[in-house]
Structure 1
């Protein structure tokens, strides 16, 4: 974990340091690391689905064997990613027979070595959203060639309308040349203001669609796909009226997509149903939704700090920044609407930060504490009135039962695994399981040593491998904690 700064630099320095900090953490900030973990999860998931899906197992295994460069366009294709997540969920729930992902993959050319995804190849004309800054493409009505393409295109439009919550919605709006130019300028402005964060969030966007939708909350401004339309964002054409509007929308939705990808490989809360009251909205939000909102508001405040200190060259090229932020209004009848509060990003970020700080230690996982510290420390760099982060150890949570001193420890076989040595992580699943398990470097080392030896031998071998004193309390704690979780997860057996 990076060493988070606590001093208050000048406004310009604060924006630069906040931009750097948002991309420093290997779990939640570093897009390359997030990408590596998701590719590993995709590769292992394909192998798990192939165990269950006899019909399409060859296509699933062939795809799993692709290089990262050839696998990435498939993982971040909106339809294939949606199929993958849905199939994995059904596999975990024991309801999967034949998966939708395998059926689509079986229809792809076996020798396909394209750097574009299957849905992208259906678009006519084919246009990149921000050439030179990333591979995102602009959605148009699909123009399929052949039966397999037709099914893929039809599913893409189903997901598009599902994301809009309107099965009768018209197809995507064809952007004007001016709108496309402003979209590209918005991406360039975002990277100019926040070089590291801008490039990072754009990396998580595969598809950009233009759409119109009316709802009780008003007309659509922008939205990110998430589960309904993965790796995608939708914009009202009016959001491309100026580069500044486009840049804010790209940061808003791109940061959501980045966090979505990060959360796929590391949970942050222990109780997914715990609720937090939100004074500018009716009802309450789950803790994970609080994190998602805080994550966005922190990014927004860093963008505005960078805009406020932007140099003359930026202003000459893109025009002056908007004079004031334009957040959505509090819902009528809420405490915020009655009291005239929580109408700025800073007010909302402070409130959400305070709610995160008030959570009991055991409410968050180790990753949850990590994300909270990252967001609260970044927030303090651009808002001196925000509550400061505090050091608190992550609660261990429910501990698996103890492992007795006798007997031997043996890895369960066969397994499918993906090793990420540069990140110190191993992703593994046993043939009899429908779940993936992430092992950190300590657990990975202990796991590798569970080759039939007893616990005492394991303590000594781990101490040597970790460079710790034999019999040290630290080595004993690492081994005991790792063994308990390995046995509880079914990766290791303890035979007496």
Structure 2
């Protein structure tokens, strides 16, 4: 988030604490954290851990030198594996390794090299929530004790050669994330730490589900100064360059309200980053739309990322406006004006004074999403849009209301049209060998074949169809599926479900047809 200006009112037409305002905020908070794919942080974390295990197993097939340590890490218990997944350096290595594997260019896994050098020992007997990079921090500071395990970035203090190599890579990623003009991490004062913790407490108090949830997606908080053409850095999230990290200007912690909104902003980005690792939203990742407050255009995924943030910040501001006296006595009064970054110079918004509030921008982005044809989005994307727009309507009565097009979205005519036809005869068999990781509690199975570096996420229906592709002919498969899901043998609905799942399994190369 670049330099910001203050403009517009942060007030609400409802008096603070009125039942209608409080109820709308509570419903929005619950909705933003309830969706199993995009909102439920525990489910998102479970899927990412499974992806981590499967990815390490797939890497082991292609890296003979690192295979032993990769397989040992993949087999480690959750409490040992989780700190590795959310370690900034190791997560960066893992994601880079997967990209190299998919491009057919993997020689040696950088993840295996760090772990093999002793940066992390997944076979240690004592469970620990401390990650390898966190172990280098001196002094060791927890960002918000009681609300999560995030730690504060300081200059690393390595104690051996392996830790020195790890610490140097951490600082390299830190500088790369910030770009030119990056200063060293700032060691926070007691006042800054108090402001950070008060901001986290405020966020969890105002939005006990969605606000507290985003904090769990933050592993490390760093304080820094950086100047750019757009002004001084206020806050940013690391993304791929510095995974699970939030960087803040120390001044953002001068007020609990500033700190809370910054944490929500960047934490929501990190949460979405984790959620999108397990499913794409758009059919064409290069398609772009113009944005009136920014020079140039944005990709559709960037539109979704921005809308996701604005919906969360509007929920936060609605909660602030509806907050009772107890919150104001504890954290002070919320800002009387809305802080939002200025439109870029020369843009239509800069020239005519529009799009100066989060609500205006959220409405515009919502209109962009609503104008997209169904085939522009994946099934995941259509679900994401419906969920996010429903949450937006709860905190902004003037936001556009989605049309009733559930039937068209469910049909997914554009997406389905690109899939292979269902054979009427012959036999259907699963491709072997494969690596797989089951998530029975979420009704999902992740599968990766040795022929490809891609992971395929199967929902409960596709998982059932996949399990029945054991040499059966299509008619036998439909009958077996109907029995498995307790539908009549001649059910048209069972036939539709089998056809949809089978076409995707064939297209993914997980199932073959012969005869």
TM-score range, shorter chain: over 0.9
Cα distance, 1:390 vs structure 2: 2.5
Name the structure 1 match of 2:452.
433
Looking at structure 1, the residues matched to 392 and 296 of structure 2 have their Cα atoms a distance apart, in angstroms, of: 26
Name the structure 2 match of 1:43.
53
Residue of structure 2 aligned with 1:408, choices 420, 427, 432: 427
Deviations 1:172-193 (A, max 9, x none): 0011000001100000000110
Checking the alignment, whether the CA contact within 8 Å between 2:81 and 2:122 is kept in structure 1 is no
Looking at structure 2, the residues matched to 169 and 17 of structure 1 have their Cα atoms a distance apart, in angstroms, of: 41
Deviations 1:82-138 (A, max 9, x none): 111111011011111101111011123353342111100010111100000000000
Deviations 1:394-415 (A, max 9, x none): 2241432213222111111221
Deviations 1:347-368 (A, max 9, x none): 1111111111001111111111
Name the structure 1 match of 2:121.
109
Name the structure 1 match of 2:103.
93
Q: Secondary structure at the match of 1:326?
A: strand
Q: Secondary structure at the match of 1:271?
A: coil
**In the alignment, does 2:31 pair up with 1:21?**
yes
Checking the alignment, whether the CA contact within 8 Å between 2:79 and 2:128 is kept in structure 1 is no
Checking the alignment, whether the CA contact within 8 Å between 2:252 and 2:259 is kept in structure 1 is yes
Aligned pair in 2 of structure 1 residues 170, 426: CA closer, same or farther (>3 Å)?
A: same
How high is the TM-score relative to the length of structure 1?
A: 0.97
Cα distance, 1:10 vs structure 2: 1.5
Q: Secondary structure at the match of 2:247?
A: strand
Residue of structure 2 aligned with 1:136, choices 150, 155, 171: 150
Looking at structure 2, the residues matched to 17 and 404 of structure 1 have their Cα atoms a distance apart, in angstroms, of: 46
Checking the alignment, whether the CA contact within 8 Å between 2:59 and 2:98 is kept in structure 1 is yes
Name the structure 1 match of 2:507.
488
Name the structure 1 match of 2:141.
127
1:61-100 aligned at under 5 Å gives the runs: 61-100=71-110
Looking at structure 2, the residues matched to 279 and 321 of structure 1 have their Cα atoms a distance apart, in angstroms, of: 29
Cα distance, 1:370 vs structure 2: 1.1
**In the alignment, does 2:391 pair up with 1:378?**
yes
Looking at structure 2, the residues matched to 493 and 175 of structure 1 have their Cα atoms a distance apart, in angstroms, of: 58
**In the alignment, does 2:219 pair up with 1:200?**
no
Looking at structure 1, the residues matched to 146 and 307 of structure 2 have their Cα atoms a distance apart, in angstroms, of: 30
Looking at structure 1, the residues matched to 490 and 121 of structure 2 have their Cα atoms a distance apart, in angstroms, of: 57
Checking the alignment, whether the CA contact within 8 Å between 1:373 and 1:390 is kept in structure 2 is no
Name the structure 2 match of 1:163.
177
Deviations 1:52-89 (A, max 9, x none): 11111111000000112211111111111111111101
Deviations 1:253-298 (A, max 9, x none): 0000000000000111001011111101110000100000000111
Question: Structure with the greater relative contact order (CA < 8 A, sep ≥ 6): 1 or 2?
Answer: 2
Name the structure 1 match of 2:305.
292
Name the structure 2 match of 1:10.
20
Name the structure 1 match of 2:162.
148
1:197-276 aligned at under 5 Å gives the runs: 197-276=210-289
Cα distance, 1:433 vs structure 2: 2.0
Cα distance, 1:170 vs structure 2: 2.9
Q: Secondary structure at the match of 2:436?
A: strand
Deviations 1:439-458 (A, max 9, x none): 11111001111111111111
Name the structure 2 match of 1:420.
439
Name the structure 2 match of 1:310.
323
Instruction: Point out the more displaced range, 403-412 or 238-247.
Output: 403-412
Name the structure 1 match of 2:490.
471
Looking at structure 1, the residues matched to 100 and 53 of structure 2 have their Cα atoms a distance apart, in angstroms, of: 17
Aligned pair in 2 of structure 1 residues 207, 471: CA closer, same or farther (>3 Å)?
A: same
Looking at structure 2, the residues matched to 280 and 400 of structure 1 have their Cα atoms a distance apart, in angstroms, of: 38
Q: Secondary structure at the match of 2:402?
A: coil
Q: Secondary structure at the match of 1:79?
A: helix
Cα distance, 1:42 vs structure 2: 0.5
Name the structure 1 match of 2:336.
323
Looking at structure 1, the residues matched to 387 and 425 of structure 2 have their Cα atoms a distance apart, in angstroms, of: 42
Task: Give the total of aligned pairs.
Answer: 487
Name the structure 2 match of 1:453.
472
What RMSD in Å do the two structures reach over aligned CA positions?
1.1
Aligned pair in 2 of structure 1 residues 110, 203: CA closer, same or farther (>3 Å)?
A: closer
Aligned pair in 2 of structure 1 residues 111, 462: CA closer, same or farther (>3 Å)?
A: closer
Q: Secondary structure at the match of 1:438?
A: strand
Q: Secondary structure at the match of 2:278?
A: coil
Cα distance, 1:220 vs structure 2: 0.0
Looking at structure 2, the residues matched to 343 and 194 of structure 1 have their Cα atoms a distance apart, in angstroms, of: 24
Unaligned regions of 5+ residues in structure 1, if any?
1-8
Instruction: Point out the more displaced range, 390-399 or 479-488.
Output: 390-399
Cα distance, 1:207 vs structure 2: 0.3
